[in-house]
Amino acid sequence: MSQVEAPRPIERVAIPGGGNTYGARTALMLFTPIQPKWTLLVRVSLWLGKWIPFVQQHILQFRFIHFVRWAVVRELPYNGPPQEPDRLNYSYLLFETNFDGAWRNYIDSFAYCISRDIRYLWGRGFAFPGPPPAEPLKAWIAENSMEGGTYYCAYPEASTRDVLAAVAVRDRLGALVNESEGLSPEAFQDAYRRFLVDVQAHL
Partner 1 sequence: MFDHNRAGTAYAFTAFTAILPGHEEAVRERIESLPRGPESPLARLDTLHYSRLQIFDELVYQGPPQKKRDRLKSSYLVFTASLDGDLDPFLDAIADRLPAEADGWWGHCVAYPGAANREAFKRWLKHNQVPNALFSSMYSTESVQAVRSALALRERVLEFATAAQGLEPAELQRRFHTELAGLV
Interhelix angle 185-199/160-179, nearest 10 degrees: 160
Contact 90, 36 (CB under 8 A): yes
**CB neighbours of residue 185 within 10 Å:** 6
65-73 and 21-22 strand pairing: unpaired
Q: Is 101 in the site for partner 1 (CB under 8 A)?
A: no
Q: Considering only 3-11, 22-30, 112-120, 131-139, which stretch makes contact with partner 1 by CB under 8 A?
A: 22-30
Instruction: Tell me how far CA of residue 128 lies from CA of 113, 119, 134, 183, in angstroms.
Output: 17, 8, 12, 63
* CB-based burial label for 106 (10 Å; 0-12, 13-18, 19+): buried
What is the identity of the amino acid at 100? Answer: D
The least CB distance from residue 183 to partner 1, in Å, is 8
Q: Is 26 in the site for partner 1 (CB under 8 A)?
A: no
| CB closer to partner 1 out of 56 and 112 | 56
- The residue from 1, 185, 197, 201 that contacts partner 1 (CB under 8 A) is 185
- The residue from 98, 134, 137, 138 that contacts partner 1 (CB under 8 A) is 98
Fill in the per-residue mask, 143 to 172: x = in contact with partner 1 (CB under 8 A), - = not in contact. xx-xxxxxxxxxxxxx-x-xxxxxx-xx--
The least CB distance from residue 1 to partner 1, in Å, is 23
The least CB distance from residue 145 to partner 1, in Å, is 9
